[in-house]
Structure 1
Amino acid sequence: MTTATTPTASPAPADDPSITGPSWTPRLWGTLIVLCAAMFLDALDVSMVGVALPSIGSELHLSTSTLQWVVSGYVLGYGGLLLLGGRAADLLGRRRVFLVALAVFAGASLLGGLVDDGALLIAARFLKGVAAAFTAPAGLSIITTTFPEGTARNRALSIYTTCGASGFSLGLVLSGLLTSVGWRWTFLMPVPVALIALVFAVRLLPRPTEAPAKGGYDVLGAITGTAAVLLLVFTVTEAQGAGWLSLRTLGSLAVVATLAAAFLVVENRTAHPLVRLGIFRNGGVARANLIAFTIFGSYAGFQFIVTLYLQRLLGWSALEMALGLLPAGALVALSATRMGAIVDRFGTGRLLPIGVLALVLGYTVFLRLDEHSSYPALVLPSMILLGIGFALAFPSVNIAATDGVADEEQGLASGLVNTAFQVGSAIVLAVVTAVITAGSGGGESAGAQLDGYRPALVLVTAVALIGFVVAATGAVLDRRQKAVPAPVADHDDPSADPAGLRGKVLAER
């Protein structure tokens, strides 16, 4: 096993008024804006291509089974390599990894907008997902090591994560507008934004100032862990066509289990693991990752259902649907500058259950769907609840996932929570698709479609409800821990004063 030196960004002093004070320096704001731009583009790309798929399929003559890989290729690269991306940021330097990955992201975006072959387009999407798998944890860990834990970090993370949520929500609107001009613009639009962000990142991102830290490359752990996640995402995506109980799917899942077991063995025995399993002894980190899995997975499934329902059953255009979902994204975007203060006042332990409960209620409202549902009665109240839910839950879960984690493992913590987001999205979406297909029986009538959408919505709501239970349990545990008084020495008990300090004080008197 080889060793490597790891330059890391020096964390800001806890008493530095330029960071902890109410007013940040222009350079500090510039750093945060650059990182937010990259996060916005990562999230934007997840949702923006969906509306353009029919146009892409028509022009490039792609079958439905091939067309799904335009979306799945990105998710495969993103979700499969996030852990490796997070660890690379810790070992190779967060600034260096971020800059290289952002440049690759811009190049892959340009390639995707210019190709005329379906296979090349899918390859470009995969490469773009790989780049995002390195920019996301590197960017998040730059924030958590630049801003000290507490008010400053909460404020920065709230702005950063709401930019990601806004990008995911607004991607639908932008896609509707750009696709009306040409689907290639959905790929080309991020290129100038990424290049501008790259130029400013070179100038603004903090350079490593601490003495290099020694670490090692867990090659075997990287191979087994990355292969397990990649194969899991691939299996759940392909299971829709092959069948969940097919020999191919069951065989793939068996291989996933074998790789995962091998990964755990390696991580327990290696001196420098890719994922230090002890990080999950931090209950807040473990709960945050499970909540991330449920909230992003449930929303990915919900968005898929809503897209089919509004366009196929109610006959909405892509742009009408995008504008109809806009209130959720607008609420998240408008809350960005205030969420830091809200988190400071109430804490993530209180905000997480409230936010996830709002998501559960938003999905529950949509269970009333029928073939004559109106926007004010069904879609609008659901979007408002989802906007409130994500505004509260998304920043809180990112803060909780990195709280109490040492600076040298911030890349790992960031990679873990982003992996939970992406793997949750892939798995829940695959199951939702299977439920819709089974419920509708392949029928195209309004009744058959509703028979598929309703049980799928129940599944989505149940997944979000699991997240609420985990968040509420965490809030109760946190409250109990805070309620336990610190042990006070009994001054009448000599055993409580082993150093004889009480006697010394009395003697001095």
Structure 2
Amino acid sequence: MTTAPSSTGADDGLRSGPAAGPAPGPAPGPDAGSGRFTPRARLILLVLCAAQFFISLDFSILNVALPVLGRDLGMGPADLQWAVTAFALPSGGFLLLFGRIADLYGRRRLFLTGVAVFTVASVLAALAWNPGLFLGARALQGLGAAAVVPTGMSLLTTIFPEGPRRNRALGINGTLLSLGYTTGMLLGGGMTEALGWRSTMALLALAGTAVLAGAGLLLPESRTPERPRLDLPGALAVTGGLLSVIYALSTAAEQGFGRPDVVAALTAGAALLTAFVVIESRAAQPLVSLGMLRRPTVAFGNLGGVITFSMMSSVIFLLTLYLQVVLGLSALQTSLVFGAQGAVLALTGAVSSRVIGRIGARATLTGGLAVQGACTTALVLVGAEQGAWLALTALCLASVGHMSAVVSYGVNATSGLPDHEQGLATGLITSSQQLGITIGIPVLGALSASRVHALREAGTAADLALLSGVRLAFAVDAAVVLAASLLIGYGLFRRRRSADRS
């Protein structure tokens, strides 16, 4: 595959060509410190962020459409979870492996391949006439997503040099990641009602086609100059472990944690991930450098990503139940609440890079988590007859903290790393995001459901039981986020002070 044209000059402030360790690439232009983008840089950023957006969109766009889809394809209620799980399994399980393959054999090449696979799979999903074909297409979509997400992120962090440009690029990318999930919920219902569920898959196919065309023209190739052997035992262990954990958590979201297959999958996942750590500690050329995970910015940055994504996705899920079941709001009214949240996410993402420039990525991450946790605490006060305005206000304010954390965790987790480790670092980032989205709803949903079941057994009305369960989950959600803010702040700033003294 030919390499896309490189930057037209040093004043693009972009890197291009094969990555050679920590070499800085072309020198940034006179405005590099300002974080401004040249026209070509804007187009590259548009292509990379568009890919991340439509992948994020795919996580939620079918949620509202599942009942209609099930009737059309003859899928029973117990089978509908596989419309989501079939995508989540490969998209999360293969992230680290594909991130490393991209480092070794070409990020642009794997990015284009992933977009092409995702696009073809979206066409197949839109045309599917039976459950088998549809679920196979969803799995193929997930495989394409697993190639696109880490390679897109590593292209972003290698093309845009560390500093204001990269911070701003990561801010825009993080905004679109969170907006994609919310937008998917909004678009899914409207498109399904107006055009049918197949239109959602057709939309993804059109988006993939546009990104494929733009990426082929604009993106430069980059890879590590060395060709070390791929750590196959480590790759098999981590991929199998992630697949097992994601399957267990996705299934538990619908069926509960007591099922034998869920317990077996969790056990297998824990064993394989433990084996992965052992393998990596002994491998001559490990898939994951354990030394990288000992970097405070990488470890605590990714922990922040898991926490902010898992707890905010849980808030959205729980609020959907509260607004529609307890308060009796319509689907349209509920979508307007999340539409307001989307606007707040977009505005916050637009300024987050400036905040990072002023107070630093560490302070932005810990402060963002603190705001998210404090505002989630307010949701414990929602009532049975009114509370929509409190819910809306608390959700929007919590989203300010959430988006600040989303942008800054990526900056923390990729800063100070050479180019040849960027694919691995971004694979970790996207694994944190996927793990967060996957684990939050099953865990807190199960906690809420357990409380509801106990109250219903005691004779409590259904809506009041649900209110109590949702409040409990909100309280636990807030406590987890606030505790994480303290832990991450301690870890990042303690190590920073130690480094300054040395």
**What displacement does 1:369 show?**
2.1
Distance 1:69 1:246, change over 3 A: closer
Deviation at 1:306, TM superposition (A): 1.4
Given that 1:300 and 1:429 are in contact with CA atoms closer than 8 Å, whether structure 2 keeps it comes out as: yes
In structure 1, give the amino acid aligned to 2:478: T
Q: Which moved more, 1:70-79 or 1:285-294?
A: 70-79
Rounded to whole Å, the distance in 1 between the matches of 2:369 and 2:340 is 18
Cα distance in 1 for residues equivalent to 2:483 and 2:202: 38
1:366 aligns with 2:379: yes
Q: How does 1:35-434 map to 2 (within 5 A)?
A: 35-181=48-194, 182-208=196-222, 212-239=225-252, 243-245=256-258, 247-376=260-389, 378-434=390-446
Q: Distance in 2 between matches of 1:50 and 1:362?
A: 26
CA–CA separation in structure 2 for the residues paired with 1:402 and 1:216: 24
Q: 1:85: Cα distance to partner?
A: 1.7
* Offset, 1:32: 0.7
**CA shift at 1:271, angstroms?**
2.0
CA contact (8 A) 1:8 1:94 kept: no
Distance 1:316 1:80 in 2: 37
**Alpha carbons 1:140, 1:414 under 8 Å: kept:** yes
- Partner of 2:439, secondary structure, is helix
Offset at residue 243 of structure 1 (A)? 4.8
Find the residue that maps to 2:227 and give its secondary structure: strand
**Residues 276-328 of structure 1, C-alpha deviation per residue, up to 9 Å, x if partnerless?**
11111111100011111111111122221112222223232323212111222
Query: How far apart, in 1, do the equivalents of 2:62 and 2:374 lie?
Result: 28
- Asked whether the 8 Å contact 1:14–1:148 carries over to 2, the reply is no
Instruction: Give 1:119 shift.
Output: 2.9
Between stretches 444-453 and 7-16, larger displacement belongs to: 7-16
Please provide the CA RMSD for this pair: 2.2
Q: Cα 1:243–1:185, aligned 2, differ >3 Å: closer, same or farther?
A: closer
Please point out which of 18, 25, 38 is paired with 1:8: 18
Which is further off, 131-140 or 456-465?
Answer: 456-465
1:437 lines up with 2:449 in the alignment: yes
Structure 1 residue 211 displacement after superposition = 7.9
* Counterpart position of 1:465: 482
Identity %: 35
Task: Sort the Cα spacing of 1:157 and 1:248 in 2 relative to 1 into closer, same or farther, 3 A.
Answer: closer
Deviates more, 1:236-245 or 1:35-44: 236-245
Moved more, 272-281 or 36-45: 272-281
Q: Which residue of 2 aligns with 1:477?
A: 494
Change (3 A) 1:14 1:345: farther
Does 1:453 pair with 2:453? Answer: no
User: SS at 1:88's partner residue?
Assistant: helix
With over 3 angstroms needed to count, the CA separation of the structure-2 counterparts of 1:126 and 1:21, relative to structure 1, is: same
Task: Name stretches of at least 5 consecutive residues in structure 1 with no aligned partner.
Answer: 1-6, 487-509
Greater shift after overlay, 221-230 or 437-446? 437-446
Where does structure 1 differ by over 6 angstroms across 4 or more consecutive aligned residues?
A: none
Any unmatched runs of 5+ in structure 2? 1-16
How far apart are the structure 2 equivalents of 1:191 and 1:250? 36
Larger Rg: 1
Alpha-carbon deviations, 1:369-425, whole Å to 9, x = none? Answer: 22212422x222122212211231111001111111221111111111211121222
Is the 8 Å Cα contact of residues 9 and 206 (structure 1) preserved in structure 2? no
- Please say which of residues 325-334 and 92-101 is displaced more in the overlay: 325-334
Could you say if the C-alpha distance between residues 312 and 186 of structure 1 is closer, same or farther in structure 2, counting changes exceeding 3 Å? farther
Shift of 1:18: 7.0
Alignment CA distance shift 1:459-1:276 (3 Å):
same
In the alignment, the residues of structure 2 paired with residue 21 and residue 261 of structure 1 have an alpha-carbon distance, to the nearest angstrom, of 43
Q: TM-score, normalised by structure 1?
A: 0.88
Amino acid at match of 1:352: L
Tell me which moved more, 64-73 or 443-452: 443-452
Contact 2:252/2:262 (<8 A) preserved: yes
Closer/same/farther in 2, CA of residues 253 and 299 from structure 1, 3 Å limit: same
Superposed displacement of residue 241, structure 1? 6.2
Q: Distance in 1 between matches of 2:33 and 2:357?
A: 14
Shift of 1:256: 2.0
Please state whether the residue corresponding to 1:213 is helix, strand or coil.
Answer: coil
Deviation at 1:115, TM superposition (A): 1.1
State the one-letter code of the partner of 2:209.
L
TM-score, length of structure 2 as denominator length = 0.89
Query: Aligned-pair distance for 1:340?
Result: 2.2
Greater shift, 26-35 or 445-454, is seen at 445-454
- Listed one character per residue, the Cα deviations across residues 439-484 of structure 1 (whole Å, up to 9, x for unaligned) are 1118572122223222222232233223212332135325524753
- The equivalent of 1:506 in structure 2 is none
Distance (Å, rounded) in 1 between the aligned partners of 2:96 and 2:31 = 29
Higher mean Cα deviation, 102-111 or 29-38? 102-111
- Matching residue's letter, 1:438: S
Amino acid at match of 2:491: G
Structure 1 residue 161: Cα displacement:
1.6
Q: How far off is 1:245 after superposition?
A: 4.6
Distance 1:211 1:177 in 2: 45
Using the TM superposition, give the Cα deviation of residue 240 of structure 1 relative to its aligned residue in structure 2, in angstroms.
5.1
Provide the secondary structure at the position in 1 that maps to 2:155.
helix
The superposition leaves residues 115-172 of structure 1 with CA deviations (integer Å, 9 ceiling, x where unpaired) of 1222322222222122111111101111111111112211221122212122222222
C-alpha change, 1:237 and 1:338, in structure 2 (3 Å) is: closer
**Structure-1 separation of matches of 2:385 and 2:26:** 57
In 1, Cα distance between equivalents of 2:219 and 2:185: 30
Q: Distance in 2 between matches of 1:280 and 1:26?
A: 36
| Letter matched to residue 197 of structure 1 | V
Distance 1:246 1:179, change over 3 A: closer
CA distance in 1, matches of 2:370, 2:165: 27
**Alpha-carbon distance in 2 for matches of 1:258, 1:482:** 35
The number of residue pairs the alignment matches comes to 477
Contact kept? 2:296, 2:492, Cα under 8 Å: no
Per the alignment, do residues 463 and 184 of structure 1 end up closer, same or farther by CA in structure 2, a change over 3 Å counting?
farther
The change in CA–CA distance for 1:305 and 1:211 in structure 2 (over 3 A counts) is closer
